[in-house]
């Protein structure tokens, strides 16, 4: 008995990118588990690593999402859709958490405080990626064929990601 092959999903490359980001997030989170056992300079270094990861990997991804992916998802979900309101707000929450971690590092906060802030950042970023995949991507896969998605969403997304801000 043969099965009908599933057509390629328009969001396939973004799903692969999310998978890599999630793997990196989880790897950093595993190291954060040992933060309390490290020396103070190592603790601060690990907290800074979380900030650097967000600034260099997550923030450009988020900017590109807001520029091209979210307008496409709103369109795909239908006129008047506010489907991207929550993920857009999650980006703001991530910025706030990073600001709080940066201040905690500057103040030489306790390991518990650093761990709390690191986990909140990593958990929020992880949940955001999973939600994007499970809530937004299905609308995009349904509304766009791969060629159109490449032209109208992915190409502008890559351009925006490469823009220095």
pLDDT tens digits along 5-19: 677 899 999 999 999
Nearest CA to 14 out of 110, 122, 139 is that of: 139
State the pTM of this model.
0.89
Question: pLDDT, tens digit, for every residue of 78-97?
Answer: 988 899 999 999 999 999 99
Helix, strand, or coil here: 114?
helix
- Of 51, 3, 53, residue with least CA distance to 25: 53
Q: Give me the half-sphere count of Cα atoms (radius 13 Å) on the Cβ side of residue 75.
A: 12
Tokens of 24: 């990196």
The CA dihedral of 54, 59, 60, 62, to the nearest 10 degrees, is: 130
Is pLDDT above 80 for 122?
yes
- pLDDT reported for residue 165: 53
């Amino acid at each position: 008995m043969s099965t009908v092959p599933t057509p390629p999903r328009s969001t396939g490359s973004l799903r692969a990118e999310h998978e890599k980001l999630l793997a990196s997030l989880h790897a950093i989170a595993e190291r954060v588990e040992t933060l309390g056992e490290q020396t103070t300079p190592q603790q601060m270094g690990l907290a800074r690593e979380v900030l650097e990861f967000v600034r260099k990997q997550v923030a450009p991804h988020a900017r590109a999402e807001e520029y091209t992916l979210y307008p496409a998802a709103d369109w795909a979900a239908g006129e008047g859709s506010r489907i991207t309101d929550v993920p857009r707000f999650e980006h703001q929450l991530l910025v706030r958490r990073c600001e709080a971690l940066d201040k905690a590092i500057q103040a030489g906060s306790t390991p518990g405080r650093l761990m709390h802030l690191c986990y909140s950042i990593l958990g929020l970023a992880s949940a955001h990626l999973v939600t994007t995949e499970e809530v937004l991507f299905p609308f995009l896969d349904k509304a766009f064929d791969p060629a159109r998605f490449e032209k109208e969403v992915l190409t502008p997304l890559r351009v925006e990601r490469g823009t220095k801000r």
